[in-house]
Amino acid sequence: MHKHNNGLKTAALFGMLWAVLLGLGALIAASMRSTTPIWIMALIGVGTTAYGYWNSDKIALRSMQAYPVSEAQAPQLYQIVRELSVQAKQPMPRIYLSPTMAPNAFATGRNPQNAAVCCTEGILQILNARELRGVLGHELMHVYNRDILTSSVAAAVAGVITSVGQMLVFMGGDRRNSNPIAMLAMALLAPFAASMIQLAISRTREYDADEDGSALTGDPLALASALRKIEQGVQLAPLPPDQRLVNASHLMIANPFRGGVMNKMFATHPPMRERIARLEQMAERPLR
């Protein structure tokens, strides 16, 4: 897949995550007699994330109560996905439907050989074939760009930072050689900073999938039109804020919950207006 300025941004955001983690580690090393708890938290975080990465498809599909469909049941879906997979020279993913009227779609799987594409029944009712093709191109690019791995690593580092921050607050340590106010501030602010960086990485990957998906389909305006309809549809039929759905929401093409000030601040997706504007700009120049 072609290179992006967004790829550099993702690398920079990962650098910031590691800087926060190393800063916490240095603080603990200077104030506690042992750094063993850090390694324990790190191992737990890595183990949990590895499980989530290897089972990402099952977890996401289960959260949306998705069911597999055959080509006879969803011929249009199969035709579009097969054409895009052949064009990208990638294996054909499994295809699922989710029994909800909330319009959305997602692709998941640790690699193209273990990928699954899921559309809600609601999105099939509001999009035409051209718009659906734009959406599926976007979702397939998440798999081809290994975004599941990217999000898993970001979640692992952010999770370790949050765990260490909580440990500092509740366990404390030998603070004779440290500033307790600075330590408390770091313990509280580091997890918040890690969450913000993790969300920024997720939003950056959405821009990439928009761009790469449009290059795959050759039709950025189709995706722009689909995003407008999906945004309107989500406002009419949002998903309930169930924790399982919240955990899977970053995989979806659009935020599945009704908007609000706090939701926008902690959103895993860029503002829809900005995504549509970028796609319209793409349509004005030759696609690579």
Residue with structure tokens 């895009």? Answer: 84
Catalytic residue list contains 139 = yes
Gap between the Cα atoms of 253 and 181, Å rounded: 42
Q: How far is CA 279 from CA 63, 227, 276, in A?
A: 30, 10, 5
Strand, helix or coil for residue 85: helix
**Residue of 121, 131, 139, 280 marked catalytic:** 139
Q: How buried is 159 (Cβ within 10 angstroms: 0-12 exposed, 13-18 middle, 19+ buried)?
A: buried
Paired residues of 119 in beta bridges: 97, 105
Gap between the Cα atoms of 285 and 269, Å rounded: 24
Q: CA geometry: angle at 55 spanning 49 and 61, to 5°?
A: 120
Gap between the Cα atoms of 213 and 132, Å rounded: 12
Both tokens assigned to 230: 């999906």
Catalytically active residues are 139
